Every structure is written in C-alpha cells, then in structure tokens.
Amino acid sequence: MLASLQIGEIIRQRRFATVVPDQMTCASGCALIWIAGVKRYVAITAKIGFHSAYDPVAREQSGLGNEMISAYLAKLGLSYEAILYMTSASPTDMRWLHSDDAKRLGIAADELGSIDTSAPPPVHAADAKVKAEAEEFVVQFFNLWSVFSGSDLSAALARQYSDTVEYFGVRKTARDVLMGKQVSLRWWPVQEYKLRRETLRTTCGERDAECVVTGIVEWYYEGPQRSVSAAGDSRFSLSLRRVSPTRFVIVREDAAIISKRPR
C-alpha cells in the first residue's frame, strides 16, 4: 500500500496521465496509483476497484492504513464523499468504479480513445536552457554542504528558499525550515551529499516560471561526539520558482529514503 501511495505521489508531482487499457483490471494498489493521474483514461471494458486497507499481521482492516489512504486522496484534491466511496469496501471485498459514480464524485476519466496521440511539440533551445539552469541550481544546492559549514552554511541556505515553503507536506516559513536544518546539523555535524546527476528529471511550467527537479542523492551523516554515522540514498523533489533571470528559489521540498547502507 505504501509503495502505491509513493508511486501516486510521484505521478502527481510529475503531472503524468494514467491509463487502464481495454479488458484490463486495475484494483487495490493499482487503483490508488491510477487516481493520481492529472489526466485519467479508462477503456470501456476496463475495471477499476477500490477497497479499504488490510493488516496482514492482525488479519483485519487497518485503521492506520485507511487514514494514510484518506490523507493521500485528500492531498490529490478528492472530496470527502469520493474518499468514503473508495475506502468503504472491506479488505476482502471490492467496490468497482461505475462511470455514473465517477461523474457524481468528480473522479473525471476520459475514454481511452480520446488520448491525444499526436507528436509532442519540439523542445526549443530556450526550454532546454531553463531546465539546465534549474538542474544546476539543484547541483549547487547539494554542494553547499561541502563548501560551507556552521553559520556560513545557514546563511547560504537562507538564500535558496522562498519566504514560505511547502516542506515535506507542511507549509512553513523559510525561517522555520532553516531552524529545522540547524537542529539537524547539531545532531549530525557532518553531512555530505553526492547527487546522481544521471537520475535528474526536470519539468517546467508555462513561461518557465516554475520547475520541478527530481532525482536521487547519496547522503552520509556523522555525529563524531556520539561516535555514530548513517548513510543511504534518498529520492528528492524540489519545486523551484524563478524570481529573476538569474535566480531560482525553492518553494517546495520533499524527500524519501529509498535505501540505507553501512559506512
């Protein structure tokens, strides 16, 4: 279930469309992924089914799992009625989505035949330039920990953020974000980041005013006084806003650990 929600969040962040083809069934975790599409398509003969979360250890419905699903669906912008509809069936049952229900609940879906299969517009040099600038901003952002330390690092980080930031799903001021990072640095004085540039993916909106850069970063934390260390890989997402021809700021930051390893 958790993997399905994470996949759905990536789909929404990257503004992908989702499709259930002809004579295919998309149920349970698949349905939670499908619902995240900015544009959702379904063939006439396809089936989409929802049910509540199941705890395989306790062998019963999971209250915590249902809370996570409800929070996820609310974040996607679905109504309370739609959320109740999708979580009302027991874990051993299935509520198949009917086209009339989809229309009534605002779960917009187009027939598969209406997909625009025309060739995408060519990427212009200006578009490629903006994406390259956004990616370079992210590279320099992770390099700050290698270049600065202490108060110099805090000052450098302060210039990277908008006045308000959606920080891991919570709206915060830049000051609060920086205070949180200072607490982290006191607990882990040594922090190193190595960006995997080959994993970078960048999308920019209309007029190139905002870009979303995602990728994977390797990290290493050490607390010398406590004789402890930690290392691993995280998948991150940074939403950037252009505030001048030469400057971006971060307006949204998310990340999730995908692996840990001994150091």
b/e per residue 97-136 (b: at least 16 CB within 10 A): beeeebeebebebeebeeeeeeeeeeeeeeeeebbebbbe
Burial group, residue 213, by CB count within 10 angstroms (0-12, 13-18, 19+): buried
The pLDDT assigned to 207 comes to: 62
Which residue has 């396809």 as its token pair? 46
The pLDDT assigned to 109 comes to: 67
Q: Is residue 120 situated within a structural domain?
A: no
Looking at 114, 149, 181, which one is the last position of a domain? 114
Count the domains in the chain.
2
Same domain, 145 and 232: yes
Same domain, 129 and 248: yes
Q: Is residue 119 situated within a structural domain?
A: no
Q: Which of these, 207, 219, 200, lies nearest to 138 by C-alpha position? A: 200
Residue 81 pLDDT > 70, yes or no?
yes
Q: How confident is the model at residue 205 (pLDDT cuts 50, 70, 90)?
A: confident
Same domain, 79 and 130: no
pLDDT over 90 percentage in the chain: 43
Same domain, 49 and 132: no
Inter-CA distances, 111 with 37, 100, 228, Å: 14, 14, 55
Neighbour tally for 43: CB within 10 Å: 15
Q: Do strands 247-261 and 161-167 pair parallel, antiparallel, or not at all (unpaired)?
A: parallel
Same domain, 256 and 129: yes
Same domain, 140 and 97: no
Both tokens of 102, joined, read 């989809």
Q: What is the pTM of this model?
A: 0.54
| Domain extent at residue 103 | 2-114
Same domain, 203 and 158: yes
- 113 vs 181 pLDDT, higher one: 181
Give the angle subtended at the CA of 238 by the CAs of 108 and 258, to the nearest 5°. Answer: 90
CB 223, CB 25: distance < 8 Å: no
Mean pLDDT check: name the lowest of 19-23, 42-46, 106-110, 142-146: 106-110
Same domain, 230 and 253: yes
Looking at 94, 114, 134, which one is the last position of a domain? 114
DSSP letter for 16, please: -
CB 47, CB 30: distance < 8 Å: no
Residue 232 pLDDT > 70, yes or no?
yes
The pLDDT assigned to 217 comes to: 95
Same domain, 94 and 134: no
Mean pLDDT check: name the lowest of 176-180, 243-247, 250-254: 243-247
- 52 vs 137 pLDDT, higher one: 137
Tell me the pLDDT tens digit for each residue of 85-136: 888 888 888 888 887 777 777 776 665 554 454 555 555 565 788 889 999 9
CATH code, domain carrying 150: 3.10.450.50
Same domain, 25 and 57: yes
Q: How confident is the model at residue 231 (pLDDT cuts 50, 70, 90)?
A: very high
CATH code, domain carrying 80: 3.90.226.10
The pLDDT assigned to 137 comes to: 95
Which residue has 């900015």 as its token pair? 38
Mean pLDDT of the chain: 86
Q: Is the dihedral of CA 83, 104, 93, 90 positive or negative?
A: positive
Residue 219 pLDDT > 60, yes or no?
yes
The residues with which 220 forms a beta bridge, in sequence order, are: 192, 231
Q: Is residue 250 situated within a structural domain?
A: yes
Tell me the pLDDT tens digit for each residue of 53-79: 887 777 778 888 888 888 888 888 888
Over residues 139-149, mean pLDDT? 91
The HSE-up count of residue 233 (CA atoms within 13 Å, CB side) is: 9
Same domain, 138 and 248: yes
